[in-house]
Amino acid sequence: MKLISEFNDYAVEPVIVESNENGKKDYFIEGIFMQSEIKNRNGRIYPKEVIQKEVKRYNKEFVEQDRAFGELGHPEGPTINLDKVSHMITKLEEEGNNFVGRAKILSTPNGQIVKNLIDDGAKLGVSSRGLGSLESKGNAQYVKDDFQLATAGDIVADPSAPEAFVEGIMEGVEWVYESGILKARDIDEMQRELKTARLNDLEETKLKLWKRFWLILIRL
């Protein structure tokens, strides 16, 4: 099985409960976490029955046990790193071909970053992470029924951001360099990777570069 990560094309909506029993604000995000029966930007299709089966297991073993965690950013492996956890998924339900989720933002260091982003009006997305096998059919790859979720949703930047970021790299990305986030040689390396990527691998390469950029951001 291989690691399968998916950026959702829909932003999640923040929900703020003004006061809980302790007099503090509770923060949640909710929206579409996963989709079935459509070809996504990675060229992959999740058959509905595959997600249905896995969501049922995930709900029973993780959501209902209050241990369905997600991280800020997108790790390179399937393991949930507790020191990077930012939220806990409290609901994951089927609505047509969509699987809609709700997550509570936790009082962890990364959770506090998410709360600050929400307070400042940031647009956030979710990205699922799991392990599974793929089968090529026509011009798409189908996720097979051995698929297992590591998390139904890590919190990531605006789902449209990878495209915007990649376009910026190809134009020189002066704002990235001037902010000191990336070094010039990193930009050159990213440009080379994009220019040499095979057409079939282009979307995967774009997402990989965005993940690398995001990891650099959250380490600052």
pLDDT in tens, 102-157: 999 999 999 999 999 888 888 888 889 989 899 999 899 999 999 999 999 999 87
Whether 108 and 124 share a structural domain: yes
Whether 30 and 128 share a structural domain: yes
Whether 119 and 144 share a structural domain: yes
Q: What is the pLDDT of residue 174?
A: 39
**How many Å apart are CA 120 and CA 25, to the nearest integer?**
15
pLDDT in tens, 67-92: 999 999 877 788 899 999 999 999 99
**How many Å apart are CA 126 and CA 154, to the nearest integer?**
5
- Domain span at residue 88? 2-158
Whether 95 and 202 share a structural domain: no
**How many Å apart are CA 16 and CA 139, to the nearest integer?**
42
**Alpha carbon distances (Å) from 200 to 72, 147, 152, 188:** 28, 23, 26, 22
Amino acid at 69: F
Q: Which residues are catalytic?
A: 74, 127
3-state secondary structure of 156: strand
Per-residue tokens: 12: 């999640």
DSSP H stretches of helix in 79-201: 109-119, 161-170, 174-179, 184-196
Whether 196 and 90 share a structural domain: no
Whether 21 and 59 share a structural domain: yes
pLDDT in tens, 2-25: 778 776 666 678 787 766 667 788
Whether 30 and 117 share a structural domain: yes
Split into its structural domains, the chain has a count of: 2
Flag whether pLDDT at 96 surpasses 80. yes
Whether 184 and 121 share a structural domain: no
